Amino acid sequence: MKTPVFTGSCTAIVTPFTEDFVNFEKFGELIEMQIANGTDAIVVCGTTGEASTQTIPEHLATVEYCIKKVAGRIKVIAGTGSNDTAHALMMSQNAEKSGADALLMVTPYYNKTTQKGLIKHYEYVADRVGIPIILYNVPSRTGMGFTAETYKELSKHPNINGVKEASGNFSLVAKTLSLCGDDFNLWSGNDDQTVPLMALGAKGIISVVSNIMPKEISQLARLCLEGNFNEAAKLQLSLHEIMEALFIETNPIPVKTAMNLMGMEVGDLRMPLCEMEPSNLEKLKKAMERLGLIS
C-alpha cells in the first residue's frame, strides 16, 4: 500500500510576475493565504503557475522560495514535467535538493511518445530521485495520455505514487483503480469532477478554483474524505458556475484575471497568454458577483 502524498485539497498555485521576474513578496502572501484557509498541499510551477513560460532560473527560484516559505507546514509538490526526459530529470533532482515533498510530472508533449516510451520516461526519472512522483494526465494539453495498463505497470515502481487525472475519462479512472488497487493513488485534476472522482476513490483534488476559494475547496474535499457525498455534491453544484467560468478560456487566464479583480494583484499573464475576451470577462464577473467575490 502506498501512502498518498497528500489527501484533501491541493492548490495549483499561480505565479505572480513582475515585468521581468517573479514577485516573491506577493507569492509569499498567496502561500500564507492558502495555508490559513486549510489547503493541504501546494503545486508550484505547474500549468496554473505558467511554468512553460518560466526560464530555468525562475523555475528553480520559485520552487525553492515556495518550499522555504511553507517551511514544512503543508506539502509542496514541484512541477518538473517536460517533453525532454533529461530536462525533466534535472528539474526533478533540483526540486528534491530544494526539499520538495513530491514531484508532478506531466506527460511529454508535442513530440509525445508511445505507452512504452511513457513507461521508460517515468521510470528513468523515478530511478534517479528519492521522492514520490505524481503523474499528470491531461491529454487536452499534451496530445497524449495513459492507458490503465500503463498506470498498472508504473504503479509497480516504489517512487511513483499516483496520478493527477485531468482526462475527464471516468471509465479510465474506474479501470485504473480496479487494476492498481492500493498501489496507486489518484487525485482529481478537474475541479468540476471532484465529487464523482472522490466517490470512486480519488484522494483529493489538485485545484485551480482554490486560488480564489481555498476554504470552500478544502471543505469540499474534506466532506468527500468523510464520506458525506450528499453535502459534498450540494457544495460542488453551488460552485458549478464559478468552476465553469474559471475555464471559459485557457487556464490560467481566467483565474489570474479573477484574482486581480479581487485585488490580489498577481500581475499580468505571460505571452502567448493574454487578456480575456470582453464577453467572457463579463461572464466571469457575473459568476464572481453571485458568490460575493466582487461587488
8 Å CB contact between 54 and 62: yes
Find cell 534517479 and name the residue. Answer: 128
Is 154 in a helix, a strand, or coil? helix
Grid coordinates belonging to 50: 505558467
The reply to whether 124 belongs to the active site is no
Q: 26, 69, 122, 136: which is the annotated catalytic residue? A: 136
E strand or H helix at 78, and its extent? strand 75-79
How buried is 189 (Cβ within 10 angstroms: 0-12 exposed, 13-18 middle, 19+ buried)? buried
> What DSSP designation does 52 have?
G
Give the C-alpha separation, 263 to 156, whole Å.
46
Grid coordinates belonging to 6: 497528500
The reply to whether 283 belongs to the active site is no
Q: 26, 164, 203, 256: which is the annotated catalytic residue? A: 164
Task: Tell me the backbone φ, ψ of residue 186, rounded to 5 degrees.
Answer: -140, 140
Find cell 496530445 and name the residue. Answer: 143
Single out the residue of 206, 221, 197 nearest to residue 164, CA to CA. Answer: 206
Residues 6+ away with beta carbon under 8 Å from 198: 188, 204, 205, 221, 224, 225, 229, 232
Give the C-alpha separation, 196 to 199, whole Å.
5
Q: What's the longest Cα–Cα distance across the chain?
A: 52
Active site residues: 136, 164
